[in-house]
Structure 1
């Protein structure tokens, strides 16, 4: 397998932490751990404006990559390290500048954290830059790399609960804000509905009435960003409701309501109820899941071409939904049609 030079920009925990050890072995829970799991990838450089995080990365991963170059400038990393693959784990409101710079510098595969961007205009700039460069852009919508969520979508496609009518998501926790973990929940609704959103209404939590566009700090302070509730209508007629609630304890589940049954989907298991019986859905293990799967897919795209299960077009649509929720809330929860008008 060919040697792919990898780099990471932004040494947040999701970028840099060591893999977790469980009864099932060591599970990659960071971009670095995902690259370490791939035999054809070699970490050559990292970038962060904090030099202490660069030092900590070298100490944590020195046994795997003893000669990682460190930079406080993304431009210097791109010019000197010349990576083939790049993970973008900077604050969300800086994703666009890093991705466009990477594409322009010749990076062949980019793995970007979520949300792809904080505005549709930024997302469009990113997609245009990647297309012009002939590069691949994968976005870490994590459930798209989870076998359970694929199993549930397969059950829907096979009609195991009849025709899908409605999706419902309950999402709570200290990071249940719309542009934090909320982006993953919204993406799951799109993934399961198997169709684009054509209409929505949204309402932000109290105190964020002025938010007609993203006004956060890129994810540093949870208190600076809102949770939200939303109603979605998909092009295939499926409807969905999303309830994001700021609480101490974290919870996430989805109800999938069909004409002939219901599936309740949690993060680790799902239950299908139909004709008075309940069946637990058990997913076949994948060789790689989560960020390891994302890295494996990115490497394969660079070497062999193809389409991502979590590609930029899908991620751009999710950003448009988030922006639509902000606009709808600012206008008194007015229903809005998608695509949005007046994107600049």
Structure 2
């Protein structure tokens, strides 16, 4: 006989990304999904029926009353705070989809509430769990690349107009919080700051060229780090076809490494590693690969990395003989990525660079 799962999980929000959470938790014996909820109660019931889940609710309050240990948040960006604060008040640990919030004050309240309640808060940046991303981080840490001095993140993606029209909350400041930076590039902003360190200044511009949306479909920025390193960021959803994503880091040893994701949603690959007199490289965009993939395919290919992050989170809760540890990606980590992209918005609005205080960088 198998032993019962240790952690009871509730998933809030039964939209497209909830599939990743449902499949990931199904692969982790230490946790089991016992309830789902959605503002559309019929959708919650349909999800519960499809996945063999015991309870379906129309509100977070009902879900939490079922005795939940971990809440997985899959709701639209501006609603994250309400769910996280309710979960913390109920003593439940929280895993939240990115972005943590659409403004800094909200993110900081979420982090503070979880700290005060003594519960863990993790935020999904599952691309950190790519083996290729781990390899780059190791090359920084072990001195192969050494302290980064120059970086670049290129996020050149395609979205059909139907991507925005199919969901009313997409493409507006009030319900999406931003465009390509908030929804797509935030993953790579997180990777850039994870590899290069804390950010102290951002100077950027945003524009909307192709899509009929309120928010930006194109952005560029120069980012300065506390170490003195500098990086550039370019991002768009207006490309046809998509060129995918590349992140390139040059370190103080002179070595350079590049991490690429093509097509979008595929596992990251190290497509360039140059050190000493050697250059190892492979095509960023291999021939014969369809460059434009739909959202369901992108999400589906990320399920193994959602699983890796959830497994780390569950492990963190029971580490050190039950005392726990911080998960690999915390609320403050996610707040740092949010602060960078919001600084691009502010800099574009004012025409001036945004400088972070030391307290901001370490918050």
Please, which of 44, 49, 62 is the counterpart of residue 76 of structure 1? 62
Query: Equivalent residue of 2:213, what SS?
Result: helix
TM-score, structure 2 normalization:
0.78
Once residues 207 and 146 of structure 1 are traced to their aligned partners in structure 2, the CA distance between those partners, rounded to angstroms, is 32
Deviations for 1:95-140, whole angstroms, at most 9, x for unmatched residues?
1111011100111x21100000100000111011001100000110
Q: Specify the alignment match of 2:337 in structure 1.
A: 318
1:130 matches 2:120: no
Query: How large is the RMSD of aligned CA atoms in angstroms?
Result: 2.4
Contact 2:313/2:328 (<8 A) preserved: no
Q: Specify the alignment match of 2:259 in structure 1.
A: 265
Q: Specify the alignment match of 2:193 in structure 1.
A: 190
Please, which of 25, 40, 43 is the counterpart of residue 33 of structure 2? 43
Please, which of 214, 229, 241 is the counterpart of residue 238 of structure 1? 229
In the TM superposition, structure 1's runs of 4+ consecutive aligned residues that sit over 6 Å from their partners are none
Q: Number of residue pairs matched?
A: 303
CA change 1:222–1:296 in 2 (3 A) is farther
Question: What is the correspondence of 1:157-306 to structure 2 with a 5 Å cutoff?
Answer: 157-161=141-145, 163-174=147-158, 177-193=180-196, 195-206=197-208, 223-226=213-216, 227-246=218-237, 247-250=239-242, 251-259=244-252, 260-267=254-261, 268-270=268-270, 271-279=272-280, 289-304=304-319, 305-306=324-325
Structure 1 spans left out of the alignment, 5+ residues? 17-29, 209-220, 282-287
CA change 1:242–1:61 in 2 (3 A) is same
Contact 1:198/1:339 (<8 A) preserved: yes
TM-score, structure 1 normalization:
0.82
CA change 1:249–1:99 in 2 (3 A) is farther
Structure 2 spans left out of the alignment, 5+ residues? 160-178, 262-267, 283-302
CA change 1:279–1:7 in 2 (3 A) is same
Please, which of 3, 9, 18 is the counterpart of residue 12 of structure 2? 9
